[in-house]
Amino acid sequence: MAPRLIRGYSARMADGDHDLTHLPDLRQKPQHGPVRSRRPIYQDLLPPCNHACPAGEPIQGWLDHAQAGRYREAWSLLVQANPFPAIHGRVCYHPCESSCNRTRLDGAVSIHSVERFLGDMALAEGWPLPAGAPPSGQSVLVVGAGPSGLSAAYHLRRLGHDVLVRDAGPVAGGMMHFGIPAYRLPRAVLDAEVQRLVDMGVRFEFTHKVTDLEAEWQEGGFAAVFLAVGAHIGKRAGIPARDAGRMLDALAFLKDVEAGAPPKLGRRVAIYGGGNTAMDAARTAVRLGHEPLIIYRRDRDHMPAHAEEADDALEEGVKIHWLRSITAMEGDALTVEVMALDDKGRPRGTGVFETIEADALILALGHDTDTGFLKTVAGVTLADDGSVIVDAAMMTGRAGLFAGGDMIPAERTVTYATGHGRRAATHIDAWLRQQAYHAPAVQEIATFEKLHLWFYTDVSHRPQPRLGAEDRKGTFGEVVAGLTEPEAQHEAARCLSCGTCFECDGCYAACPEDAVIKLGPGRRYEYDYTKCTGCAVCFEQCPCHAISMVREPDAQ
């Protein structure tokens, strides 16, 4: 097995190839008396990265394969949860990295960059998605070909069901295609990962807007339906304007650019909003030769856009006016009111007004979902904003009708939507088989405080190469490049293996009673409790907390 760089050192894991001179002298007399009151057990905890992943990926597991150079095994494990690693390695905002225990040391493992490396390698090598279960004889209709619908289609197909995806657009991808610019997600990558679903038997019908759901449900003979129509209706701001034609929605703007028909906006373009869509619109405007200015009513600390998106926009020359709210648009000027934040971070008008020159205004104030076609479906309940209410099984009040993605109350990102699709597929499968799905119990999380890092040196991550800010302007070429194989393997090896035994032999070397038995590579260890005194030396040295101490049943 390849060297592993966790905790800043290299430890050979092959049997018989261990240098254990670095271990502290733990061969001491038991501290718990002649009668053992507790015993050690091997018990894996939940890595915090796994816990934080909205798509449910077994991150620590596939990182372990990747650091050892077992790339296909890593990819195969990853796609059991998420069939789009090349996409997510580019567009996911990686909450897994925010939860990574290594942030407490020298910086998080760059999980998304290793995921992208595996996804790109799989596309280059032509690895097919894993085969599914035998045919169930049941068919499911998926309405919407965005990330949630595509994820549900994949998992339903793997569970043996026939799947038909209908979408009002001309291609698959939803917001991934029309809302995320190509400089972040090249269309060839998106199309290639979607094509794998076609190859495994998922059927698609495009330019098909579902207006009478019940009729299509019955006429198609579907056993269940999953709704994932997304949120494509731009929110209006109620800004008085004499020329409303110079005011447009951010998503409509991005769609027009994607279609090769960008609107004529003039030189100075204002973007109203502070989310990721506002950043995408502004950065797209830069590439079209405009001078974009973002206007946002709060400050940088309260901006909903992810920090890296705002940093990239500023780097590319986008200007941002913080604490400003647009009150009117007339001619080539915007009237804005200066705002101030109260003690709860809410913006309040100050009565001070300014004029900002702008030839056009792009509204990036969020989007609602078009659920009007559901008003005639008995049992479906809609929230005030039009989103669909679902239960814990992601089913609506109409039996057999499930929903997910941006059309239900939840965080709206590609990764959350992908996770919704997976969860919904699991519940749909159970419902079709007339079974009750019981989610596994949540494991204890291996937090940083539980780790025993008895030595550590800095092994900082390798940043992904990026185009310079000036080189990005005027082109929709990809800004961020992928890692090389040595870089990806190095980054994966930075994983601390939190909560999961990686056979470092620390417990085996530390036990003063020789009570730890090696079972061979990949099989870990077991205890000889006739020798074990419960001294907890093995527990105290286990770097990743894969050993727990439990009380003996008859202990006082």
Say how far residue 165 (Cα) sits from the centre of its chain. 23
Domain boundaries, position 425? 139-233+368-432
Query: Are residue 464 and residue 545 in the same domain, yes or no?
Result: no
Spatial CA neighbour of 294 closest among 323, 324, 260, 271: 271
Give the tens place of pLDDT for each residue, 389-415. 999 999 999 999 999 998 888 888 999
Q: What pLDDT is stored for residue 245 in this prediction? A: 59
Average pLDDT of the residues in 167-188:
94
User: Helix 250-258 vs helix 276-287: angle between axes, to the nearest 10 degrees?
Assistant: 40
Query: Are residue 98 and residue 169 in the same domain, yes or no?
Result: no
Give the tens place of pLDDT for each residue, 117-171. 999 999 999 999 988 899 999 999 999 999 999 999 999 999 999 999 999 999 9
Does residue 444 lie within any of the structural domains?
Answer: no
Does residue 376 lie within any of the structural domains?
Answer: yes
Residue 173 belongs to a domain with what CATH number? 3.50.50.60
Does residue 546 lie within any of the structural domains?
Answer: yes
User: What's the domain count of the chain?
Assistant: 4
Work out the number of other CB atoms within 10 angstroms of the CB of residue 20: 12
Longest dimension (CA), the chain: 89
| Structural contact between residues 240 and 328, judged by C-beta atoms closer than 8 angstroms | yes
Query: Are residue 351 and residue 409 in the same domain, yes or no?
Result: no
Residue 554 belongs to a domain with what CATH number? 3.30.70.20
Give the tens place of pLDDT for each residue, 213-238. 999 999 999 999 999 998 777 777 77
Give the C-alpha separation, 267 to 276, whole Å.
Answer: 22
Residue 481 belongs to a domain with what CATH number? 1.10.1060.10
Q: Strand 516-518 to strand 525-527: parallel, antiparallel, or no bridges (unpaired)?
A: antiparallel
Does residue 519 lie within any of the structural domains?
Answer: yes
349's enclosing H/E stretch is strand 347-357
pLDDT band at 456 (very low <50, low <70, confident <90, very high): low
The runs of H, that is alpha helices, within 8-92 are 48-52, 59-67, 71-78, 85-91
Work out the number of other CB atoms within 10 angstroms of the CB of residue 252: 15
Q: Which of 339, 364, 389 is the last residue of a domain?
A: 364
Query: Are residue 246 and residue 312 in the same domain, yes or no?
Result: yes
Higher pLDDT, 553 or 97: 97
Q: What are the residues whose beta carbons fall under 8 Å from the beta carbon of 431, sequence distance 6 or more?
A: 224, 393, 395, 400
Query: Are residue 423 and residue 512 in the same domain, yes or no?
Result: no
Give the tens place of pLDDT for each residue, 250-277. 999 999 999 889 999 999 999 999 999 9
74-83, 195-204, 256-265: range with lowest mean pLDDT = 256-265
Both tokens assigned to 427: 């519940």
Q: What pLDDT is stored for residue 411 in this prediction? A: 84
Does residue 115 lie within any of the structural domains?
Answer: yes
Q: What pLDDT is stored for residue 458 in this prediction? A: 67
pLDDT of 18 higher than 50: no
Query: Are residue 372 and residue 229 in the same domain, yes or no?
Result: yes
Q: What pLDDT is stored for residue 457 in this prediction? A: 63
pLDDT of 11 higher than 50: no
Q: What pLDDT is stored for residue 3 in this prediction? A: 39
Query: Are residue 211 and residue 291 in the same domain, yes or no?
Result: no
Q: Which amino acid is at 292?
A: P
pLDDT band at 208 (very low <50, low <70, confident <90, very high): very high
User: Helix 59-67 vs helix 71-78: angle between axes, to the nearest 10 degrees?
Assistant: 170
Q: Which of 334, 364, 394 is the last residue of a domain?
A: 364
Query: Are residue 355 and residue 376 in the same domain, yes or no?
Result: no
Portion of the chain with pLDDT greater than 70, in percent: 92
Does residue 442 lie within any of the structural domains?
Answer: no
Q: Which of 364, 380, 399 is the last residue of a domain?
A: 364
The runs of H, that is alpha helices, within 373-447 are 414-432
Average pLDDT of the residues in 9-14:
33
Q: What pLDDT is stored for residue 4 in this prediction? A: 44
Average pLDDT of the residues in 508-514:
93
Query: Are residue 25 and residue 110 in the same domain, yes or no?
Result: no
Work out the number of other CB atoms within 10 angstroms of the CB of residue 284: 24
Q: Encode 86-110 in three state secondary structure.
A: HHHHHHCCCHHHHHCHHHHCCCCCC
Q: What pLDDT is stored for residue 84 in this prediction? A: 97
Query: Are residue 105 and residue 189 in the same domain, yes or no?
Result: no
Does residue 203 lie within any of the structural domains?
Answer: yes
Query: Are residue 347 and residue 247 in the same domain, yes or no?
Result: yes
Query: Are residue 358 and residue 265 in the same domain, yes or no?
Result: yes
Q: What pLDDT is stored for residue 28 in this prediction? A: 44
Which residue, chain included where needed, has tokens 């942030």? 103
Portion of the chain with pLDDT greater than 90, in percent: 71
Average pLDDT of the residues in 281-302:
94
Higher pLDDT, 77 or 21: 77
Give the tens place of pLDDT for each residue, 39-58. 999 999 999 999 999 999 99
454's enclosing H/E stretch is none
Higher pLDDT, 455 or 432: 432
Q: Strand 38-42 to strand 547-551: parallel, antiparallel, or no bridges (unpaired)?
A: antiparallel
Does residue 520 lie within any of the structural domains?
Answer: yes
- When the pLDDT of each residue in the chain is averaged and rounded to a whole number, the result is 88
